[in-house]
């Protein structure tokens, strides 16, 4: 499971080199089946036993075939034992043939594993509107040996325009027993709150009821994966799946369990760190932007304001250029659609106050530029109208974003 990092993070500990296969009973890997020219393009996760399962899915009305198949499968028993992911082709907007291909992926992998087909979740990511070369995928499936894990290969196989793998795991103590929560994700472009072009996979060896797991996933997603944006586009294929196989042998977790909050804190940390990795790896990005809205009258206002600021193209380009153009921040607050009193608002770029009581506050442009040259930029806005707050994450908007997306299909 990797070496434990020395410092404790509250009630949990992050595992150095931890991943989605760190929890007991999970294996995973990836291989090249020919959807991409050279890179790995078919990834898999397998649990030794069927696991409680929960999922959240894109809000885009054009849902890709594999999402439909996976949602149907999870709904049967709230159980999943294996996940199959291909990159390089989204199998979206592909009609009846796309549905047939998604079901073929599912049935073929189930046959190789010797499990019930609806225990297999399938998902795809890549170019929209092209039929899957299903024969290549079938050939790849037949090469999978689920008894052999391939550390890191799953994380590589699910990438599209990502520049780095995204993985994490933490250890918590439940009922006096060590419980591991692991995760992996992909996402770089078409990232926007309310799911994005992203896939997330969270695994745990904790025993958790399916209902409680779904509750934890939905609540956590609203504060993590739904609080990131790269470019304002919401995709057709996004999902986050959570699996809990129970091999830690704790008493089943529900909100009434004495250690429920301990589990939820670890689960939330894994989700939040994966979400931040996605935001930081935005296409062409050079900086991670964290926006906190505080002093808000309600959570909805705080969420809307933080998302609006981090999603503003003008804010994002100003951060890229290390320009302390606070007017763009205030402008975004103003068009967030939320009721507020402009005369009470204050704003900071990092430690530097730029607005106080709705008016410009004297600051050093040189100091502000020096701060904005960092790789992690924090912006805070205080409405001074309540006690609620929210944090959202995004990235700067660069020349490379245009270059990457201008030639995505070519």
Q: What is the mean pLDDT of the chain?
A: 90
Q: Do residues 261 and 379 both lie within one domain?
A: no
Domain containing residue 212: 12-280
Please, what is the Cα angle at 66 between 205 and 146, to 5 degrees? 45
Confidence at residue 63, expressed as pLDDT on a 0 to 100 scale = 84
User: Which tokens in the block code for residue 133?
Assistant: 């070369």
Q: Do residues 259 and 322 both lie within one domain?
A: no
Confidence at residue 338, expressed as pLDDT on a 0 to 100 scale = 92
Residue 25, in any domain of the structure: yes
Instruction: Work out the average pLDDT over 357-374.
Output: 97
Confidence at residue 409, expressed as pLDDT on a 0 to 100 scale = 60
CATH of the domain at 122: 3.60.70.12
Is residue 310 a contact partner of residue 229, using CB atoms and an 8 Å limit?
A: yes
CATH of the domain at 348: 3.10.20.340
Residue 2, in any domain of the structure: no
Question: With pLDDT > 90 as the criterion, what percentage of the chain qualifies?
Answer: 75
Q: Do residues 232 and 248 both lie within one domain?
A: yes
Residue 302, in any domain of the structure: yes
Q: Do residues 85 and 113 both lie within one domain?
A: yes
**What crossing angle do the helices spanning 95-113 and 134-141 adopt, rounded to 10°?**
10
Q: Do residues 20 and 121 both lie within one domain?
A: yes
Q: Read off φ and ψ for residue 120, nearest 5 degrees.
A: -110, 125
Q: Do residues 394 and 258 both lie within one domain?
A: no
Residue 3, in any domain of the structure: no
Question: With pLDDT > 70 as the criterion, what percentage of the chain qualifies?
Answer: 92
Higher pLDDT, 329 or 197: 329
Q: Do residues 227 and 119 both lie within one domain?
A: yes
Which helix H or strand E contains 259, and what residues bound it? none
Residue 6, in any domain of the structure: no
3-state class of 71 per DSSP?
helix
Is residue 189 scored above 80 in pLDDT? no
Range name among 128-132, 212-216, 251-255 with the lowest pLDDT average:
128-132
Cα 125 vs. chain centroid, distance in angstroms? 14
Q: Catalytic residue among 58, 70, 160, 197, which?
A: 197
Domain boundary residue among 280, 305, 330?
A: 280
Q: How far is CA 236 from CA 59, 96, 323, 387, 401, in A?
A: 8, 16, 34, 36, 20
DSSP state of 250: P
User: Which tokens in the block code for residue 267?
Assistant: 């689960």
Residue 205, in any domain of the structure: yes
Active site residue 163: no
What pLDDT, in 10s, does the model give residues 18-68? 999 999 999 999 999 999 999 999 999 999 999 999 999 877 777 899 999
Q: Do residues 239 and 98 both lie within one domain?
A: yes
Q: Do residues 206 and 346 both lie within one domain?
A: no
Q: Do residues 333 and 272 both lie within one domain?
A: no
Domain boundary residue among 280, 297, 315?
A: 280
Is residue 377 a contact partner of residue 290, using CB atoms and an 8 Å limit?
A: yes
Of the pLDDT bands very low, low, confident and very high (cuts 50, 70, 90), residue 231 is: low
Give the whole-angstrom CA distance, residue 173 versus residue 388: 30
User: Which tokens in the block code for residue 362?
Assistant: 């004297």
Give the whole-angstrom CA distance, residue 81 versus residue 47: 5
Residue 1, in any domain of the structure: no
Residue 308, in any domain of the structure: yes
Q: Do residues 327 and 248 both lie within one domain?
A: no
Q: What is the CA radius of gyration of the chain?
A: 22
DSSP string, 80-145: EEEEEEEEEE---S-HHHHHHHHHHHHHHHHHHHTS-GGGEEEEEEEESS----HHHHHHHHTT--
Q: Do residues 193 and 298 both lie within one domain?
A: no
Tally of domains in the chain: 2
Of the pLDDT bands very low, low, confident and very high (cuts 50, 70, 90), residue 285 is: confident
Is residue 234 scored above 70 in pLDDT? no
Please state, as a whole number, how many other Cβ atoms lie within 10 Å of the Cβ of residue 333: 22
What pLDDT, in 10s, does the model give residues 145-184? 988 888 889 999 999 878 889 999 999 999 999 999 999 9
Domain boundary residue among 280, 303, 323?
A: 280
> Dmax over Cα atoms in the chain, in whole Å?
68
According to DSSP H, which parts of 210-325 are helical?
A: 210-223, 260-280, 299-311, 313-320
């Amino acid at each position: 499971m990797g070496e434990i990092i020395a410092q404790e993070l509250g009630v949990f500990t992050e595992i150095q080199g931890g991943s989605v296969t760190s929890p007991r009973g999970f294996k995973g890997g990836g291989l090249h089946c020919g959807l991409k020219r050279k890179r790995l393009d078919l990834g898999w996760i397998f649990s030794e036993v069927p696991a409680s399962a929960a999922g959240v899915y894109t809000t885009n009305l054009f849902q890709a075939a594999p999402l439909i198949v996976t949602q149907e499968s999870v709904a049967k028993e709230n159980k999943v034992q294996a996940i199959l992911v291909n990159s390089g082709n989204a199998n979206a907007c592909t009609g009846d043939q796309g549905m047939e291909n998604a079901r073929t992926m599912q049935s073929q992998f189930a046959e190789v594993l010797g499990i019930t087909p609806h225990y297999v979740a399938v998902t795809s990511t890549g170019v929209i509107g092209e039929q899957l070369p299903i024969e290549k995928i079938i050939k790849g499936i037949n090469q999978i040996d689920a008894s052999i894990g391939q550390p890191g290969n799953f994380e590589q196989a699910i990438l599209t325009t990502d520049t780095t793998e995204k993985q994490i795991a933490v250890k918590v103590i439940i009922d006096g027993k060590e419980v591991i929560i692991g995760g992996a994700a992909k996402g770089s472009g078409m990232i926007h709150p309310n799911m994005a072009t992203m896939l997330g996979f969270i695994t745990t060896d904790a025993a958790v009821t399916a209902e409680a797991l779904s509750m934890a996933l939905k609540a956590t997603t609203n504060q993590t994966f739904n609080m990131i944006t790269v470019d304002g586009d919401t995709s057709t294929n996004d999902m986050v799946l959570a699996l809990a196989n129970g091999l830690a042998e704790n008493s089943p977790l529900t909100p009434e369990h004495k250690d429920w909050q301990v589990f939820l804190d670890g689960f939330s940390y894994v989700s939040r760190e994966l979400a931040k990795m996605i935001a930081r790896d935005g296409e062409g990005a050079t900086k991670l932007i964290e926006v906190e809205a505080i002093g808000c009258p309600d959570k909805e206002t705080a969420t809307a304001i933080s998302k609006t600021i981090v999603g503003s193209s003008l804010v994002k380009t100003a951060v890229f250029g290390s320009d302390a153009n606070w007017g763009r921040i205030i402008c975004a607050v103003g068009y967030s659609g939320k009721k507020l009193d402009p005369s009470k608002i204050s704003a900071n770029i990092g430690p530097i106050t730029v607005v106080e009581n709705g008016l410009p506050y004297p600051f050093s442009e040189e100091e502000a530029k020096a701060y904005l040259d960092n790789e992690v930029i924090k912006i805070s806005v205080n409405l001074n109208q309540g006690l609620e707050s929210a944090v959202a994450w995004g990235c700067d908007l660069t020349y490379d974003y245009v270059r990457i997306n201008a030639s995505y299909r070519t």
